[in-house]
Amino acid sequence: MMTLELIRKPVAGDLEAYEAFVTRHFHAESDLLSQMLRYALSSRGKGIRPMIVLLSAGMNAPEPQAGLGQRAYLAAMLVEMIHVASLIHDDVIDEADERRGRPSLNARWQSRNAVIAGDYILARNMSIGMSSGQFDLVAHVCDAIAVLCEGEIIQSDKAARTEMNREAYFDIIRKKTASLMGVSASAGAMAVRAPRERVERMRQFGEAVGMAFQIQDDILDYTRTAHTGKPANNDLREHKITLPLLAVLEQAAPQRRAELLEKLALCDGDPSAVDELQHAVEQGGGIRMAADVMREYLRQAVEMLAEWESSPYRDSLVNLCAYVAERDI
């Protein structure tokens, strides 16, 4: 089983320097805001995006460097803080009580405060970036904020609609997840002043990984049984059509399709409708078909890496692709 610990190894020292960089730059004056900020920054996620930034910086650096430097740490901070702010806002939108195994910000301090904390993180992120004078990086990374918002809005408009199709699904996941991973990979290359074509190729690599990452997230919603012994099925409860269900709907005869969609409409209040759809997706091969699409994105991502010379950074990015397919958190 591939682990994040192993993948991080070539940039372990840089990740520590990056953490110190964030602590040095991110603080707030008022009591409540600084309490929320400390809380948000102390509940650690997997840290995949900063790790991608630093691995990409290492792989694209013109020659081996002792440390990747302030530009790389800034790029890592810019992407991770956009991610953190988007999760805070997402929990408000979904009225989620938990995030990363702890009460969400909205559960602890109410939605109206959590929204402002998310805004504050975005604003402070931008202002630290602007004061650094590294305008190319700031412009490159901050483009992703609008794309994330667009992904979230299209999802809210389309994901529960019965006319949901692959094109819309791929558009949503490209915007809400893959774009920021693409920008993480390209910003790392840009931080070490890689040529433009390499920066663009890294973006494509990161986007392919991000597409696979989100498809695996959607698969895990059907299969993950860690806490309760049952899958979470949050997407079904929210009437969201993701790839495992979409793949089954596409192959169903019109009457069966109508039946499945009727069940989906009942999923928020009827646990037996959730169980039946869950079963239909598994038995109908939805998980397997979604996993095939995910693996194809990862195959493309690994293939792109062959354009770089062999290095521990490249090995780690290849291993990241294995991790995305295997991960269960």
Contacting positions for ligand GRG (CB under 6 A): 45-46, 48, 82, 85-87, 89-90, 93, 100, 118, 122, 145, 148-149, 152, 176-177, 214, 217
Helix (H, G, I), strand (E, B) or coil at 98: strand
Specify burial of residue 17 (Cβ count, 10 A radius: 0-12, 13-18, 19+). Answer: middle
Question: Smallest gap, in angstroms, from Cβ of residue 211 to ligand GRG?
Answer: 11
Cα(120)–Cα(15) distance, integer angstroms: 24
Question: Smallest gap, in angstroms, from Cβ of residue 329 to ligand GRG?
Answer: 8
Spatial neighbors of 78 by CB under 8 A, at least 6 apart, are: 125, 129, 137, 138, 141, 142, 187
Query: Is the CB of 171 or the CB of 217 nearer to ligand GRG?
Result: 217
Helix H or strand E encompassing 72: helix 70-94
Question: If you count them, how many residues does the chain have?
Answer: 329
Question: Smallest gap, in angstroms, from Cβ of residue 72 to ligand GRG?
Answer: 19
* Residue appearing with tokens 């790839």: 243
Query: Is the CB of 86 or the CB of 316 nearer to ligand GRG?
Result: 86
Query: Is the CB of 68 or the CB of 85 nearer to ligand GRG?
Result: 85
Question: Smallest gap, in angstroms, from Cβ of residue 261 to ligand GRG?
Answer: 25
CA 153 to chain centre: 16
Nearest residue to ligand GRG by CB is 45
Helix H or strand E encompassing 208: helix 196-223
Query: Is the CB of 160 or the CB of 252 nearer to ligand GRG?
Result: 160
Query: Is the CB of 122 or the CB of 199 nearer to ligand GRG?
Result: 122
Helix H or strand E encompassing 185: helix 179-191
Q: Which two tokens stand for residue 93?
A: 């939108």
Question: Smallest gap, in angstroms, from Cβ of residue 91 to ligand GRG?
Answer: 9
Query: Is the CB of 220 or the CB of 302 nearer to ligand GRG?
Result: 220
Question: Smallest gap, in angstroms, from Cβ of residue 294 to ligand GRG?
Answer: 13
